[in-house]
Chain A
Amino acid sequence: MKTRSLSKFIVPALFVVALTAGCKSKSKDPVEEGATIITMYLRNFEDWSNEYMNKRVKEFNSNMEDGIQLSVKFFEDEAYTDAFKVAKENGSAPDIFMCSYGNIYHDVVETGDGVPLNDLIKQEYIDDISDNIKPMVTYNDKVYGYPQLSEPSSIFFYRKSMLNTAGVASAPSTWAELLEACSKIKPTLKRGQYCVGIPIGSALSWSTYGLQYNLTGGLALNDDWTQSRVGTEEGFKDIAGLWYDLYGNGYVPNGAISPKGSYNDIIEGMMMGKVAMTFAGSWSIAEIMHTYSDLASDVGVSVIPTKDGNTSKVTASNGGWTYAISSQSDKEHQQKAAKVIEWLFAESPERTAGFFEAAYYSKAAVTNSVKAYISEHVEDNLKEWTNVINDVASKAIPEATYPWSISVAVGTIFETCGLNADLNKGESYKTTTINNAIKTADDSINAIIHSSSWEGKPF
């Protein structure tokens, strides 16, 4: 009985101790008294990126005279949309929120969630935005998101040692060279190793925008969004044919090679020696430098191989992030939120360039002043890679703004052709497979256009 009555007190006491253990008070940073609190929702990216943003926020808040206290919340990619929508529904949307280039129209303009920045951010900072980026953040002559960075979705990476072993002298620049390089590399590989890594699944939908544009001079829809181009432009068939050949010859892995299994971290597969070459986003450079720096000298970076090898054309789309100001905030909060954005991304090229330095210049700067600063300060060992990324980024197109299901329909063409590839069945089977996949996508896209309510391209 005594034991039982003692346990009546001990168990709840332990429970309370366990609960409060996590509530240990932390030494808080000094808070500016009477300051306006500006809320900001950020997405979780790589650790180094989050650390960088935290450091900057702390630095901003260390100023005790600006009348602004910045309060930041980080969200995982999946949770960001939910958190933002819930906050918005409750009338407490963050003063500053993130938006990708491709979604500015839908997330900021169409929903009315954001306000034009022209009256809030100094004109000189608006003018500083690079010419190729400005159209991506502008709607009806108003800027709706201040850009932080751009990152080409498709760059070509290769392991020099693996190419050397196979007798491949340089990175392939055309598809013919790519297939030839693969034919040389394949015999040198062990079981479980492949020649080249390519995007699979949903990544095919967005990571191939550059190739689609390169081959067809546009994306899946015509200029006024009234017709699918997939059935009429031969370029889509060409890409499907490349995918068919790569899978049919066993040059590409049949599944995801990186531990997380996504295109975003496909570079890990190459660094682990599972592929000799890979298509990957420019952000992979940061991953190489942070995690595989000892192997960095063995990595080569180039423009992705294209059908004709013309490197002066578009080969990638520009992804990246912008910062918008909420329409739910009052005027004072909007003005102070603009001050935060200016401080973080516009006011000082040196400060803004710090992010690109931390990213090992794996992302391209989006303002002229920061570009100029970086070109003078980039380390010599990274210049070769940085030049490729800046070159690709300067020509890259914005991501498609049409419904995601259209992008998926196009990606499905390439996936279908890859997964159904069988070289033993001959050329006519290949042609039929490609034509069927193209027709399915074309019909699907035209059905979407038919059922849509848009009148011409909105953005």
Chain B
Amino acid sequence: MIYTEDKFQLVDKKRHNRYKYRGQTTAYLMLLPAFVLLSIFVILPLILAIIRSFQDYNTKAFVGFSNYVYLFEMDTLFYKSFLTALLMTTIISVILLVISFGFALVLKAMDNKFGKLVKVLIYVPFFISGIIASVIFNLIFNYGGGLISSICVLLDKDPISFTNDTTLAYISIIVPTIWLGFGYNTLVMYAGLINIPEDYYQAANVDGANWFQKLWFITIPNMRNYIVLLVINMVTGYMQMMEIPMMMTGGGPLNTTLTPVLYLFNSFRDPSRPDNVTIAGAILIMIFIMAVNIFVFKTIKTRRSEDV
């Protein structure tokens, strides 16, 4: 007879072990397909990519860190593209968090058929790829015949060049990105909101708490895990943004909207660049995103729901 360390429950040791290991073989067998697929499509390619990033592409000879050094020495664009992506990720994430949280609050209040319709409608853009979204927004932002420029011409004003202006180019990327992500973020926020027990609010009402106090002391703390999920998703996704900048601005003007992945895409297609430099760049992006995510995890610590 023993006491387990954490719960101080009386457990028969033999019986405990029998239950503990009985399902192991089945569990491993069930995990096997996932493990095999992950190995083939994720782990092995990753290992091969890491090895290749230290090799010359043509001769396969090991060249140390020269592919990595090349990335930073050949031009400053790779380094700058990280700053661009970081800036855009920050702007987009903050805006998306705020508006999707606000809209989720509105959705929660709209507990009727119209609310259900809205939930479906706002989720629709999530099914649209970045390329299609860019085509749609090109019809709006296009300098030559886009909606906004056409209205400007009708009003006897000069057309606006969103994609060829160093500031407006950001808008032409941020707006479609937010449009695409808004539905998903709102619904996750909404799911979080409806999971908060009503008792908390009733107790707060009894204590005379106002709307802001309920938001600050009940809603937001209970949404912490959802916010962490969304932030991680957004940081991971937007740091790897490529389709929208490629389609809307091509990384310009003056490379102001060039993101790391778009840089690597261009690099991959540039025959004068060693291909393994592109692979080295991809490894660096992976490390950078992992580092940013660890930072986010550390900054916004998750808690189990019962600890909140």
Tell me if chain B binds chain A: yes
Q: Which residues of B contact A402 (CB under 8 A)?
A: 272
A106:B272 contact, CB within 8 angstroms: yes
Tell me, in angstroms, the Cα distance from A255 to B250 when the chains sit together: 13
Q: Which residues of B contact A444 (CB under 8 A)?
A: 75-76
Tell me, in angstroms, the Cα distance from A274 to B266 when the chains sit together: 30
Which of A46-54, A146-154, A257-265 sits within the interface? Answer: A257-265
Partner of A412 from B149, B156, B166, B254 at Cβ < 8 Å: B254
Q: Which residue of A lies closest to B252 (CB)?
A: A201
Which of B109-117, B139-147, B203-211 sits within the interface? Answer: B139-147
Nearest-neighbour CB distance to chain A for B151, whole angstroms, equals: 11
Binary contact track B245-256/A, C-beta < 8 Å → 1, others 0 = 000001011110
Binary contact track A238-255/B, C-beta < 8 Å → 1, others 0 = 000000000000000111
Question: Given the known A-B contacts A192-B149, A202-B252, are A255 and B161 also in contact in the complex, defined by CB atoms under 8 Å?
Answer: yes
Nearest-neighbour CB distance to chain A for B150, whole angstroms, equals: 8
Nearest-neighbour CB distance to chain A for B96, whole angstroms, equals: 27
The reply on B62 being an interface residue by CB < 8 A is no
Q: Which residue of A lies closest to B72 (CB)?
A: A451
A403:B253 contact, CB within 8 angstroms: no
Binary contact track A180-210/B, C-beta < 8 Å → 1, others 0 = 0000000000011000000011100000000
The reply on A377 being an interface residue by CB < 8 A is no
Partner of A85 from B75, B144, B255, B275 at Cβ < 8 Å: B275
Nearest-neighbour CB distance to chain A for B35, whole angstroms, equals: 25
Partner of B156 from A107, A191, A408 at Cβ < 8 Å: A191
The reply on B73 being an interface residue by CB < 8 A is yes
A451:B73 contact, CB within 8 angstroms: yes
Question: Given the known A-B contacts A261-B142, A405-B75, are A81 and B272 also in contact in the complex, defined by CB atoms under 8 Å?
Answer: no
Interface residues of A in 418-454 (CB under 8 A from B): 419, 444, 447-448, 450-452
Binary contact track B236-275/A, C-beta < 8 Å → 1, others 0 = 0000000000000010111100000000001011111101
Question: Given the known A-B contacts A191-B157, A259-B145, are A416 and B254 also in contact in the complex, defined by CB atoms under 8 Å?
Answer: yes
Q: Which residues of A contact B74 (CB under 8 A)?
A: 403, 405, 447-448, 451-452
Question: Given the known A-B contacts A192-B149, A444-B76, are A419 and B272 also in contact in the complex, defined by CB atoms under 8 Å?
Answer: no
Q: Which residues of B contact A82 (CB under 8 A)?
A: 268
Question: Given the known A-B contacts A112-B58, A447-B73, A451-B70, are A412 and B255 also in contact in the complex, defined by CB atoms under 8 Å?
Answer: yes
A256:B254 contact, CB within 8 angstroms: no
The reply on A319 being an interface residue by CB < 8 A is no
The reply on B153 being an interface residue by CB < 8 A is yes
Tell me, in angstroms, the Cα distance from A106 to B270 when the chains sit together: 9
B161:A254 contact, CB within 8 angstroms: yes
Q: Which residue of A lies closest to B246 (CB)?
A: A78
A419:B145 contact, CB within 8 angstroms: no
Nearest-neighbour CB distance to chain A for B176, whole angstroms, equals: 15
The reply on A415 being an interface residue by CB < 8 A is yes
Q: Which residue of A lies closest to B143 (CB)?
A: A255
The reply on A111 being an interface residue by CB < 8 A is yes
Tell me, in angstroms, the Cα distance from A201 to B266 when the chains sit together: 14
Nearest-neighbour CB distance to chain A for B69, whole angstroms, equals: 8
B58:A404 contact, CB within 8 angstroms: no
B273:A403 contact, CB within 8 angstroms: yes
Interface size class, chain B: 35 or more
Question: Given the known A-B contacts A274-B144, A405-B74, A451-B70, are A419 and B254 also in contact in the complex, defined by CB atoms under 8 Å?
Answer: yes
Nearest-neighbour CB distance to chain A for B80, whole angstroms, equals: 12
Tell me, in angstroms, the Cα distance from A450 to B158 when the chains sit together: 45
Q: Which residues of A contact B163 (CB under 8 A)?
A: 255-256, 261
The reply on B164 being an interface residue by CB < 8 A is yes
Binary contact track B35-71/A, C-beta < 8 Å → 1, others 0 = 0000000000000000000000110000000000110
Q: Which residues of A contact B153 (CB under 8 A)?
A: 191-192
Question: Given the known A-B contacts A110-B58, A112-B58, A447-B73, are A201 and B250 also in contact in the complex, defined by CB atoms under 8 Å?
Answer: yes
The reply on A401 being an interface residue by CB < 8 A is yes
The reply on A114 being an interface residue by CB < 8 A is no
Nearest-neighbour CB distance to chain B for A189, whole angstroms, equals: 12
Q: Which residues of A contact B77 (CB under 8 A)?
A: 405
Question: Given the known A-B contacts A81-B269, A403-B270, are A111 and B144 also in contact in the complex, defined by CB atoms under 8 Å?
Answer: no
A253:B143 contact, CB within 8 angstroms: yes
Q: Which residue of B lies closest to A458 (CB)?
A: B272
The reply on A116 being an interface residue by CB < 8 A is no
- What would 13 more interface pairs be, CB under 8 Å, given A256-B142, A451-B70? A110-B58, A200-B252, A253-B161, A254-B161, A255-B144, A256-B144, A257-B143, A402-B272, A404-B266, A405-B74, A409-B75, A419-B166, A419-B253
Q: List 10 A-B contacts (CB under 8 A).
A: A82-B268, A191-B158, A192-B158, A202-B252, A254-B165, A257-B144, A259-B144, A261-B142, A269-B144, A405-B77
Which residue numbers of A lie inside 8 Å of B, CB to CB? Answer: 78, 81-82, 85, 103, 106-107, 110-112, 191-192, 200-202, 253-259, 261, 269, 274, 401-405, 408-409, 412, 415-416, 419, 444, 447-448, 450-452
Which residue numbers of B lie inside 8 Å of A, CB to CB? Answer: 57-58, 69-70, 73-77, 138, 142-145, 149, 153, 156-159, 161-166, 250, 252-255, 266, 268-273, 275
